[in-house]
Amino acid sequence: MTQFTKSIDADGVATLTWDTPGKSMNVMNMEGFQELDALIDDVLADDAVKGVILTSGKEGSFAGGMDLNIIARMKESAGDNPAKGLFDGIMATHKILRKLERGGMDDKNKGGKPIVAALPGTALGIGLEIPLACHYIIAADNPKAKIGLPEIMVGIFPGMGGTTRLSWKLGAMGASPLLLEGKLNDPKKAKAAGVVDEVVAPEELLTRAREWVLSEPKIVKPWDEKGYKIPGGEPYHPAGFMTFVGASAMVNGNTKGVYPAAKALLSSVYEGMQVPFDTALRIEARWFVNVLMNPSSAAMIRSLFINKEALEKGANRPDVADQKVRKVGVIGAGMMGAGIALVSAQAGIEVVLIDQKQEAADKGKSYSESYLDKGIARKKTTPEKKEEVLSRITATTDYAALKGCDLVVEAVFEDVGVKAAVTREVLAAVGPECIFATNTSTLPISELAKASDNPEQFIGIHFFSPVEKMMLVEIIKGEKTGDVAVAKALDYVRQIRKTPIVVNDARFFYANRCIIPYINEGIRMVKEGVEPALVENAAKLVGMPLGPLQLVDETSIDLGVKIAKATRAAMGDAYPDGAVDEVLFWMADEGRLGRKSNAGFYTYDEKGKRGLLWEGLEAKYPVDDEQPDLSEVQHRLLFAQVLEAVRALEEGVLEDIREGDVGAILGWGFAPWSGGPFSWLDILGAERAVELTEALTAKFGDRFATPGLLREIAASGGSFYDRFGTGADAKAA
Ligand code: NAD
């Protein structure tokens, strides 16, 4: 398959056009590299060629990056000695780009041909690393284009020369937001940051590139000349030293040492700046291999990119006709309903937002207004766009306005009776095609569906708070939910650009089922006399974004009390969390309800800024002199969640481990470095997981009992992903 084509004009300007067949944006793969390599040899050897333009045949973009499917499998496909195989493969790529960069010059930097990258727009990852190896970069002024190196966001770093070239070009300080945060810029900002050299009107891109090639420009890169000083100073220069001390502290503060890529990136820059350029590229390659050999990078790419995208594209969608939503009814204009109305209207869907009183409905709509006003202030949206979005939302108390809705989402009080009454009232107002969804977080869908004559058209669509920020939506099938309802929910989630998982009905569905035991384990440890700061830091040091005590402060302690009471009522004597409730109920009695009351496990100042852990906690639950090991606390906190995920799979609540992993990271921030609970178990190894759960059970009780499925996988010597696959066949048998 041809991905690059060559043409040469009368003045000897060769144009290499990258155009991956069948893709809307170019992505690089092994064949692409081979083609590019051969074409570079060709144009450099051809006396008729004076200079080269490297561009793309895609409108509005140069390239989206490396095919991540290839990166995810790089280690497996690198042979018996994968580290060596990877290193050799990466160095072969460096050689191609270095050849491009040298442009045919001799050792004395004489001769050679100018090579310009002409970017019609978006240039990401390898799509920017290749231009960085060219002699000049011109980008079309396309404000929607994104230019940058986002590799760090998926657990790797730019390892095809981008790390070295950008840090040598801009200095460690200048390159740091682009490399360490994966910051993307539009072309003008990329020019201001020094990433591209020139921005021109789109229609002038190729003319200007041609002009530059024919202008006899200087092509030697500064680092190939004697005496080059990297901007901002090298590591032993006083300024450079300051930068690296700060960057190292920042990286460790942000990553808590659990993301291997950020540290490897920094090491690559630090070590690379102390040696000649070609050695720096070898160092970059070695650190890149180090990251690729770490199972975390493949797990992150698999969950955060490949599987997330597969779920968004409908991997588990029933095969029924398009169910795109045209008009949605949202009942209950409280915190959740207001957010659901906003994201729906933003997606171009007409919204009817209903509450009991007109003021309440209006207040729900005004949430969208203030959200959009903030967007205008931050230049994320425009007054026209705001008006357009708001004009789609009708705030009313009149159920007759629901006529024509093809989906209604109910977000009224968490009460079976209230929800049943609302369901009946809605169904009397809408047509027979309309799908009814509930946003309940705790009530069984099959129970709520009894209020409908048509339980096949009844489904759970569970959003997380705040709706506009949280990317996961949990779709819950009741016993009788039909395929059309599932497809409707999935098509809706796609329209509002979120990531869906589809689970079966069971107490707390999937996400809350796993997160509640995490919070409870943290609180239980406080009761036992474990230092609260140890609990919180242990969680963060294993990659959880919030410790369990901070998390319950955020979600509110009275909600915890409410859930505990309802769970106890439902479970009776089997209820296992009495020790947790003692602490939780006492906190609620003390009026410490969490962030919302400016007092919880943490202290808060009058502006609501979180301070230290509350000292009163220690007075009530004294801290033991002897404290457990960090790893024991971490294992308790992680297994509390992970075992629930395995049980959800065993019980058929989860049908696909990809959903279990992606849902855990997006829904409650489960240690993203691990790729999710199932990936974490695979990294740990099932046998080791069995050993650990047996030890935890002996010491702390049956909540850590080893699930049969885990034992089975350990006995077979396999892993969850071996057993349940990674593609369309990932469904649990
Ligand atoms: P909320 O109290 O902020 O809002 C509920 C709204 O429903 C109120 O505005 C109320 O006036 C309205 N309402 C009550 N009865 C009504 C009726 N008969 N007709 C019309 N409107 C009525 O509650 P919330 O936090 O938005 O939660 C709503 C639902 O979403 C609950 O089922 C809850 O379990 C679920 N949920 C909440 C969260 C969360 O974090 N708060 C997360 C996921 C799901």
**CATH at residue 486:** 3.40.50.720
Answer for the pair 525, 601: CB distance below 8 angstroms, yes or no. no
What percent of the chain stands above pLDDT 70? 99
Regarding whether 356 and 212 lie in a shared domain, the answer is: no
Least confident of 243-257, 260-274, 275-289, 578-592: 243-257
The pLDDT confidence band at residue 730, using thresholds 50, 70 and 90, is very low
The pLDDT-based confidence of 457 (bands split at 50, 70, 90) is very high
Q: For the segment 406-420, what is each residue's pLDDT rounded down to a tens digit? A: 999 999 999 999 999
How does residue 726 score in pLDDT terms, banded at 50, 70 and 90? Answer: low
Q: For residue 233, what pLDDT is reported? A: 85
Instruction: Give the residue carrying structure tokens 């630090």.
Output: 270
Q: Candidates 413, 442, 445: which one to mutate for ligand 1, based on the most atoms within 8 Å of Cβ?
A: 413
How high is the pLDDT of residue 527? 97
Residue 322 included in any domain:
no
Residue range 654-667, pLDDT digits in tens: 999 999 999 999 99
Q: How far is ligand 1, taken at its centre, from the CA of residue 490, in Å?
A: 22
Q: Is residue 308 part of a domain?
A: no
> Quick one: pLDDT at residue 240?
83
Mean pLDDT of 389-396: 98
Q: Does the beta carbon of 413 lie inside 6 Å of ligand 1?
A: yes
- Any ligand 1 atom below 6 A from CB of 696: no
Q: Which atom of ligand 1 lies closest to the CA of 360?
A: 9
Q: Is the CB of 563 under 6 A from ligand 1?
A: no
Average pLDDT over residues 181-196: 97
Measured from the CB, is residue 340 less than 6 Å from ligand 1?
A: no
Answer with the one of 490, 505, 520 that is the final residue of a domain. 505
Which ligand 1 atom is at minimum distance from the Cα of 338? 26
pLDDT tier at 720, thresholds 50, 70, 90: very high
Question: In total, how many domains does the chain have?
Answer: 3
CA 460 – CA 332 distance, rounded (Å): 15
Tokens of 179: 């490399």
Q: Do 282 and 427 sit in the same domain of this protein? A: no
Instruction: Kindly report the CATH number assigned to the domain that includes residue 717.
Output: 1.10.1040.50
- For the cut 70, the answer to whether the pLDDT of residue 274 exceeds it is yes
pLDDT tens sequence across 555-588? 999 999 999 998 898 888 889 888 899 999 999 9
| Segment holding 638, helix H or strand E | helix 630-650
Atom of ligand 1 at shortest distance to CA of 418?
18
Assigned domain for 165 exists: yes
Distance 563 CA to ligand 1 centre (A): 15
Choose, from 94, 135, 237, 462, the residue flagged as catalytic. 462
Q: Are residues 140 and 258 in the same domain?
A: yes
Q: How far is the CA of 358 from the centre of ligand 1 (A)?
A: 16
Rounded to the nearest whole angstrom, what is the distance from the C-alpha of residue 13 to the centroid of ligand 1?
65
Say whether both 162 and 180 belong to one domain. Answer: yes
Query: 520 or 240, which is more confident?
Result: 520
Q: Is residue 488 in a domain?
A: yes
Indicate if the pLDDT at residue 168 is higher than 60: yes
Q: Is the CB of 336 under 6 A from ligand 1?
A: yes
Point out the domain boundary residue: 459, 481, 505: 505
Q: Which of 456, 350, 362, 451 is nearest to 404 (CA)?
A: 350
Q: Which residue segment(s) compose the domain that 32 sits in?
A: 4-298
Atom of ligand 1 minimally distant from the CA of 440: 32
pLDDT for the residue numbered 24:
94
Q: Is residue 682 part of a domain?
A: yes
Residue 95 sits in a domain whose CATH number is 3.90.226.10
pLDDT at 224 exceeding the cut of 70? yes
Q: Do 367 and 259 fall into the same domain? A: no
* Residue nearest (by alpha carbon) to ligand 1 atom 4: 334
Q: Is 472 in the pocket of ligand 1 (CB under 6 A)?
A: no
Say yes or no: 96 and 61 in one domain.
Answer: yes
Pick the closest to residue 172 from 229, 255, 93 (CA basis): 229
**Count of positions (residues) in the chain:** 733
Residue 337 Cβ inside 6 Å of ligand 1? The answer reads: yes
* Residue 688 sits in the same domain as residue 585: yes
Query: Does residue 728 have a pLDDT over 80?
Result: no
pLDDT tier at 733, thresholds 50, 70, 90 = very low
pLDDT surpassing 70 at residue 732 = no
pLDDT of residue 731: 46
Tell me, in angstroms, the distance from the centre of ligand 1 to residue 465's CA: 12
Termini Cα distance of the chain: 38
Tell me: do 109 and 20 sit in the same domain. yes
Position 729 scores a pLDDT of: 45
The whole-chain average pLDDT of the chain stands at: 95
Asked, for residue 609, whether it belongs to a domain, the answer is yes
Residue 408 Cβ contacting ligand 1 at under 6 Å: no
Residues contacting residue 369 through CB under 8 Å, at least 6 positions apart? 386, 390
287, burial (CB in 10 Å: exposed 0-12, middle 13-18, buried 19+): buried
Question: Tens digits of per-residue pLDDT, 298-345?
Answer: 899 999 999 999 999 999 999 999 999 999 999 999 999 999 999 999
462 is an active site residue: yes
- 594 & 718 share domain: yes
Centroid of ligand 1 to alpha carbon of 414 (angstroms): 7
CB of 334 closer than 8 Å to CB of 364: yes
Task: Say if ligand 1 is within 6 A of residue 440 CB.
Answer: yes
Distance separating alpha carbons of residues 444 and 262, to the nearest angstrom = 43
